[in-house]
Amino acid sequence: MRAIWKGSISFGLVYIPIAVYPATKEEKLSFRQLRATDLSPIKYKKVAEADSKEVSADQIVKGFEYERGHFIVLKEEDFAKVRIESTHSIDITDFVDLAQVDPKFFYKPYFLEPQKGGEKAYALLHKALAGTGKIGIAKVVISNREHLASVKPDGLFLILELMHFASEILTPEELKNGTVTNITDKELKMAQSLVESMSVAWEPDKYRDEYRNAMMEIIEQKAQHKEIAKRPETKVRATNVVDLVKVLQESLNRNQSIKPKRNGARSPGSRSTASMVKQKRRVAA
C-alpha cells in the first residue's frame, strides 16, 4: 500500500509523525459508449452552447454562475490567492465525544501509521481516545482543499476520517419520520423478538455486491460467447400491511426455520488488523 502523503498529527505541543494510507477502495464497473456498427468508442467534443461550435482548450476559461445567466470569470491568479498551503499537518483543535457526532458527518476513512520516533506518542493518543470515547476534530489539507476531519481509534490503528461541514448536511424537514402513537405492547415485543432472532455477530465479509458479481458473470459469459440464461423475475411484495402482528409472527416463524447454524469461520479473503500489523513488522524488519 502506498502512502498518499506523510506529515504529522499535532495537538497542544504534541507532534506525532505519521503516514496516511487509503482505508477503502471503490469497486464499480465502468462502461464505455460505443458505435453499434463497429464498436468504435464514442468521444465527446466541447462545444459552445450559443452556437454549438467546437471550442479549443486555449479558448476555455473557468466561470462561476453568480446569477442565472451571469458568469464571473476566474483566472489562475484568482485561484492562487485563495489556495490553502499544504502544511502536511493534521491539526487537532478540539476533542469531542464520538456519541455526540451525527454519523452523517463522516464519509471517507484513512489509516494513520506512526513514523520513526512517533510510535510512543501515537500509542498514547490511541489509548487516550479509546479510553475516553472521544475523537479529535481537525483541519487537514489534501489536494489543495481544506477538509474537516476526525482522528479516532480503530482496532490497533488510528484513522483519519474526512467529514462534511455542517452546511453540507441536509435536514429532512419535509419527510415523514414514521412517528405514530398507536403501537401496542404486543406489536413492540413481536418486533423486538424478530430483531433478536435475526441478530448475529458482525461479519463484513459475508456481505457482497451482488449486482457487480452478477454483471461480471454476464460479461464473462458474453466474452466466452456463451448463452445467458434469463433469471426469473422477483415478485413484488404487497405493501398493504393489514395485520401487523400476523406479519411479524410469520416473519419470526420463517426466520427460525431457515436460520443457518453459524460456526464462526472466517472467510479466506478476510484479514484482521492484527495480521496487517504483523506483516508490516516483518517488512520493516
Higher pLDDT, 265 or 48: 48
pLDDT recorded at residue 170: 87
**What beta strand segments (E) does 155-281 contain?**
157-163
Tell me what the mean pLDDT of segment 148-164 comes to.
Answer: 95
Q: Which candidate, 34, 6, 40, places its Cα nearest to that of 20?
A: 6
Q: Which candidate, 257, 262, 260, 251, places its Cα nearest to that of 195?
A: 251
Task: Return the C-alpha cell found at 64.
Answer: 462561476
Q: Do the beta carbons of residue 114 and residue 17 sit within 8 Å? A: yes
Tell me what the mean pLDDT of segment 182-192 comes to.
Answer: 85
pLDDT recorded at residue 178: 67
pLDDT recorded at residue 278: 47
Rg value, the chain, Cα: 27
pLDDT recorded at residue 218: 82
Torsion of CA 204, 208, 212, 216, to 10 degrees: 120
Percent of the chain with pLDDT over 90: 38
pLDDT digits (tens, 9 = 90+) for 76-118: 888 777 766 556 889 999 999 999 999 999 999 999 999 999 9
pLDDT recorded at residue 168: 92
Task: Return the C-alpha cell found at 182.
Answer: 398507536
Q: Where are the domains of the chain?
A: 5-24+83-168
- Where is average pLDDT lowest: 63-67, 197-201, 247-251, 273-277? 273-277
- H or E segment and range at residue 71: strand 70-74
Instruction: Convert 247-285 to b/e letters by CB count within 10 Å (16 or more is b).
Output: ebeebbeeeeeeeeeeeeeeeeeeeeeeeeeeeeeeeee
pLDDT recorded at residue 239: 52
Report whether pLDDT(146) > 90. Answer: no
Percent of the chain with pLDDT over 70: 83
Could you identify the residue written with the cell 434469463? 230
DSSP state of 192: H
**What beta strand segments (E) does 128-263 contain?**
134-142, 145-154, 157-163
In this prediction, residue 144 has a pLDDT band, given cuts at 50, 70 and 90, of confident
Distance CA 147, CA 153 (A): 19
Tell me what the mean pLDDT of segment 248-269 comes to.
Answer: 63
pLDDT digits (tens, 9 = 90+) for 9-45: 988 888 899 999 999 888 888 889 999 999 999 998 8
pLDDT recorded at residue 269: 44
pLDDT recorded at residue 189: 87
CATH assignment of 5-24+83-168?
2.40.290.10
Q: Which candidate, 154, 157, 156, 147, places its Cα nearest to that of 105?
A: 147
